[in-house]
Structure formats: structure tokens, C-alpha cells
Structure 1
Amino acid sequence: MASNSTNDDFERLRKIHRVLVLHYVEGLSQAEIAKRTGLSHPTVNRLVKEGHERGYVQISVTSPFASLFDLERELAAAGRLKEAIVVPSASEQEEVNLRAAGKSVADFVLANLRDGDTLCVSGGLGVSAVVAALAPTRAYDVTVVPATGGVQGKHFIDVNHLAAQLASKLQGRAYQIHAPIFAGSPTERDVLMSLHTVSDVLARARDARIALVGIGSVSSEASTYFNLQGAGGPHLPDLRQTGASGELVAHLIDGDGALCDYPLNERVVALTPDEVRAIPLAIGISAGARKIDPIVSVLKGGYLDLLATDEATAAKVLENLKGTS
């Protein structure tokens, strides 16, 4: 209960700080702030009033989390993002920090979600954290579709399960994809991608307004990527020769954010990273030391509009992007 209370307090202070900065530093009206943030005009008014009551409005805008918000702005600028969400690194356990980041993304999605939207999702722990934290107060007329094929034996982080769970929480509609994330060969991949049941789902994913994707590590064979195809999957020595730094929608990318020249990339049943980049609001979520290099690669590739992570990870990513690590 104390952890949830702390997260809730942080989220409210984040909103207050952001509204105060937009109003007093950037000079936006409350109506303009409501339009940009997705908050209602009365909510913006209450947040401004609460900021005054808390003493945050002085000569400059201040709050207990000012350093985090500064880190967010720096990370957004260095990573060519529209926005960054950085939560406190409250634990040495990466899954705890990932859950906190998931809560922040869940709140952001609800603030920006509109009836009629289509959301596409990847599988993985990051997206699972967002879905678990989502607590909508009304039904949304939305459609949720997978952005990748499915994974056998990984039910709770499989893309079909997460799409169904997300749609259920939003009281919207979910599509399922009946194809594996990796085909047996490039030819089999082409056949699968041509099937109506697969091509229709991926076409809907390409037309999504919001994408929720995880960012995968390939630094050790304990990484999720190595379990996506089972015993016939890739091996770490092979990947190191390709210069692979991370994974996005099951595609390997190098340190500069470009697709690796690796045979498995030709067998992926999924949107491509370029197609993710074309979605109006592409949100990535990842946290932990193993994810620093993958996050840097994804940001260098310009695939995301928003990144959510924890403070320790964000600081290292920023150092890397600035070339000071």
C-alpha cells in the first residue's frame, strides 16, 4: 500500500509540475495545456491551484522531483523524443522499477486515448507492466491489435494475451494474430504474411494511432529474445558477430539503430521498426542495466515518440547518447 501511495503521489506531482511549467514557463493557456496533455480544463485548473497551494510557484517552478523532470527534458532532447517519462529508481529490483514505469505509461495512455483509436502492442514484460497498471474509469471505443506474431509457452507476456487483456480493461475490441513471431524460413514468412488472418491484423497495426512496445536486450542468453523461437533460436556468439545491440518488435538492431544483417530478421512476422516509427504515438517502455544499450540503439534509430524508464537507466542512457559514458 505504501508503494502504491508513493507512486500515486509521484504521478500527481508529475502532472502538477508539467502543468506549471507549460503555464508559467512556456506561457500556454490552461485551454492549450488541456489540449496538449489530454487532461480536462477543470483538471488543469485544479492542478495549477494545487501547485500554488503547495508553494511550487515562486520565481521559478520547483517541486520535490525537479531533478527527475530535468532528466526527462534532457533525455527527450538527446533521444529526439516528443516526451520522456522517468520514474524514481525506488528499488534494486528491475521489475519493481519497470512496474512503476508501467504505471506512468498507463496514466499517460488514458490521458491521451480517444474513442475510435486503434492501439497496437508487442509482447514482453514492459507492455505487461502497462496493462497490469491500467485502471480506466470509463469504457473506450477502441481496437487493440498485435504488432507481432505470438510466442508459444509464454502466455502472460505473449502478444495475443496482452492485446486481449488491454482490450478487456478498456472495454474495447481485440484482434488475435494466428502466426508465430518467427517463421521457419523467409519463404514461409512470406506465405504467413500473405494470409488474410495475418495481413489484416498487421494492416490494422500499421494504421494504429498508438503503439506500445518493449525494448529487448540481447546481451545474454537469459534475455527474452533467445526464448522467442525455442531450441532452434539464435545463439549469443552469432549475434555478437552481427553487432546486434538490441531488439525492437523482434528485429535485431545495431548500435546505430539500423537493422542488423542477420538471417532471423528475414523471418520475423511483425511490423518492421520503420513501421513502428510511422505510428503517430510510438511508446517504448524498458528499465534496467541490461536495457541501456538497447534503449540507446532504439533512440538513435528514431523509432519512438515517448520512452518510459527509471532514473538510473535514464541517466546512463543520457550519458551514452552524449558520449560521456
Structure 2
Amino acid sequence: MSERISDFELSRQIHTVLVLHFVEELKQSEIAQRLNLSTSKVNRLIAQGRKLGMVKIDVTSPFQRLAKLEGQLVGATTLNGAMVTPTVSGNPDTTLQQVGRAAANMLLETVRDGDVIAITGGKAISAVVENLSPDRNFDITVVPLTGGVQGKFYTDVNHLASQMAERLGGTPMLIHAPLFAESRNQRDMLKEMASTKEVFDLARRANVALVGVGSVEPRGSSYYDLNPVPESDRKMLVGMGVAAEFMAHLIGENGRLAEYELNSRLVALNPSELQTCRTVIGIAAGKQKVRPIQSVLNGNFLDSLVLDEETVNAVLETMERSKHVA
């Protein structure tokens, strides 16, 4: 009987110490003083409490629903990772900035000294660059995956490569060639120029690639900022099943390169040339990116994807509907 009383008193003492430490957040020295115990005794009681299963840690977060969506997306695709941010209703620019901030953090967690980072142009990549705030400089090289386009700052991949390298403390290498050549022969000639070939060879060996996922819908597509596609062709592209722009290539819903003349004149790496890259991170935001995301996922071009909550919900819903139709 006395032994049971002793066990009860010990359990109660352990409970008291655990409450003071984990609930009231007192230091072990403060608990020792309050209960007239030695600090080592308090430490042993806490250890005993853990061993007896009296301490259970339950981490709650307002972002649990986002983590669940990330798990669902990874489970339904070939992705190795995903990151979902809240959607700011009625404010696509702010939503894109949040996605860019999340992608910037993912990049900082992924990159290592000595890495080569290859990037495309685009609004999403611009949002990533704007939100890069590293704690230290990285010994990295940033290279474009495509030729350059003068004009808006987010379409100029050389500008973004320079900005990213500056923020990370690394070195940029730029492509001094246009994104679109006038013919296939000119494209081949430009890609074989020593300065262009050097950068593209480095891009093929990139450790990390950061790529926007673009829409080709006639409205709201930055693809048409890159080249003068006739209005009739824009509608035709959608009609023939072209769903995405990826690394400036037009991609069909099946994830394959579209049979469209502009693809044959691109001064850019082919998406298949990133297969040896350690991590290919895609960035997208907005419901207009649902079909493009599905297309790129069908092509197995990405290892990770960063997007907003509204967009991932739409992607998952579309996948579920397709499963039932199949």
C-alpha cells in the first residue's frame, strides 16, 4: 500500500513539474526554487515524465490546411515536393508576391555553395527575385535557360539573372542572343556561338532550375509579350490543345512539345535537357494557370511546384474529375 502511495506521489510530482515547465513555461531553476528541489531533480522528473509518455507535443498551425494540400498534390503527381501559399482574394499581384516569397525561401533552403542556378524570365521568377533575402552570400552562378527579350523587366531573363546573382552574392553569366531566331538555321548558328554555347552548356549542368509556368490563353498571357503571335494563331493554339508555355516552349495538354513553328526557332534549352538537374522548381499563381500546370505535370518536367491555395484546389479538382471520366 505504501508503495502505491509512493508511486502516486511521484506521478503527481512529475505532473506538477511538467505543468510548470511546459504550460507555465518556467525554467528548471525556477521550478526547483518553487518546489524546494534541486535543479538536477527537476531535470530527472522531466525526463521520467517523457519516458512515461506524460508529455505529448501537438503542433497546431493555421497553415495545416495548406500542408494537407501540399501532400495531396505530391500524392497525385510525380512531384517530390510542393509549397502552397494562401490566395489573397481579388488581388492576384499580392498572391503572386506571396508565391514568389515562398519560392524564394525554397530556393534558399535548396541552394548550396558551388551550385549553378538556371532560370527563365517571367512575372513569377521576377517575384522570386524580389523576395530573395539571404542571411549570407552564396558562391553560386546564375544563368539563363533562354535567349533574351528586351522590354518589360520581367521578360528580360538577363536582367533577372543579374538581379538574382546580386542578391545571392554570386556571379551571373548572360546570353547575348535573342529568344527567337528568324529561322532554324539562324537558331542553330546562334546556339553554336562560343559565348552562347558556354552559357547553355553550363545551364545543362545546373543544380537548381527555377521556371515559370505560363498560360497561352489569348488574355492574361505573358507569352505574347515575348513575340508577335497573330491573334488568329493565338486562338488556333488553344484549339489545337496547346495549354502551356514552359521555358518559352509551347506545350500540349499531353505534356509534349507542340508542333508550332515558333518552337523550332527558339534560342533556348529544351525542357528535356533539365532531366539531370537536381531540382527543377516551377512557380505559378492564378486559376488561369490550372491547364498549364496540368500540362507541365503531364510532361514530368518539375520536381517541385510552388503555387497558391485557390490554384492548387482547382488543379486537384480537375484531376479528380479526369479520373472519374477515365
TM-score surpassing 0.5? yes
Q: Which 10-residue stretch deviates more, 101-110 or 218-227?
A: 218-227
Q: Report the equivalent of 1:260.
A: 258
The aligned residue for residue 101 of structure 1 is 99
1-structure distance, mates of 2:163, 2:274: 21
2:165 alignment partner in structure 1: 167
Give identity over the alignment, percent: 44
Structure 2 counterpart of 1:164, which letter?
S
In the alignment, what sits opposite 2:283? Answer: 285
| Equivalence map 1:44-193=2 (5 Å) | 62-193=60-191
The whole-number CA distance in structure 1 between the counterparts of 2:246 and 2:165 is 22
Aligned to 2:314: 316
| Gap change, CA 1:140 and 1:171, over 3 Å in 2 | same
Relative to structure 1, the CA distance from residue 197 to residue 281 in structure 2 (aligned partners, 3 Å threshold; closer, same or farther) is same
Deviations 1:11-65 (A, max 9, x none): xxxxxxxxxxxxxxxxxxxxxxxxxxxxxxxxxxxxxxxxxxxxxx958654222
Instruction: Name the residue aligned to 2:270.
Output: 272
> Of the candidates 283, 287, 292, which is equivalent to residue 294 of structure 1?
292
Q: 2:226 aligns with which of 228, 234, 246?
A: 228
Tell me the equivalent position of 2:16: none
Could you tell me which amino acid in structure 1 is paired with residue 317 of structure 2?
E
- The 1-side partners of 2:114 and 2:203 are apart by 14
Match of 1:250 in 2: 248
**Displacement of 1:96 after TM fit?**
1.0
Q: CA RMSD in A?
A: 1.9
**AA paired with 1:297?**
S
TM-score, with structure 1 as normaliser: 0.78
The alpha-carbon deviation at position 203 of structure 1 amounts to 0.7
2 CA distance for matches of 1:154 and 1:231? 17
Report the counterpart of residue 42 of structure 1 in structure 2: none
**Counterpart of 1:97 in 2: which secondary structure?**
helix
Cα deviation digits, residues 200-243 of structure 1 (max 9, x gap): 11111110100001011001154111121236798313313431
Larger Rg belongs to: 2
| 2:245–2:292 CA contact under 8 A, matched in 1 | yes
Higher mean C-alpha deviation, range 274-283 or range 295-304: 274-283
* Matched position secondary structure for 1:188: helix
> Match for residue 28 of structure 2?
none
How far apart are the structure 1 equivalents of 2:158 and 2:232? 23
Choose which of 202, 205, 211 in structure 1 pairs with 2:203: 205
Runs of 4+ in 1 over 6 A off after TM superposition: 231-234
**Counterpart contact for 1:78–1:322, Cα < 8 Å:** no
**Unpaired stretches in structure 1, ≥5 consecutive residues:** 1-56
Q: CA deviation at 1:283?
A: 0.4
Shift of 1:270: 0.8
Contact 2:155–2:225 at 8 Å: present in 1 too? no
Aligned pair in 2 of structure 1 residues 203, 234: CA closer, same or farther (>3 Å)?
farther
Q: Residue 176 of structure 1: SS of its match in structure 2?
A: coil
Contact kept? 2:218, 2:235, Cα under 8 Å: no
Write the distance in 1 (CA, Å) between the matches of 2:194 and 2:239: 36
Aligned equivalents of 1:218, 1:260: Cα separation in 2 = 12
Distance in structure 2 (CA, Å) of the matches to 1:250 and 1:99: 22
Letter in 1 for 2:105: D
CA distance in 2, matches of 1:173, 1:232: 38
How far off is 1:107 after superposition?
Answer: 1.0
TM-score, normalised via structure 2 length: 0.78
* Equivalent-residue separation in structure 1 for 2:223 and 2:232 (angstroms): 8
Q: Letter of the aligned partner of 2:280 in structure 1?
A: A
SS in 2 for 1:150: coil
SS of the residue 1:152 aligns to: coil
Residues 234 and 119 of structure 1: is their aligned pair in 2 closer, same or farther, counting only changes over 3 Å? farther
What amino acid is the match of 1:95? D
SS in 2 for 1:212: strand
Contact 1:226–1:235, Cα closer than 8 Å, also in 2: no
**TM-fit CA distance, 1:171:** 1.0
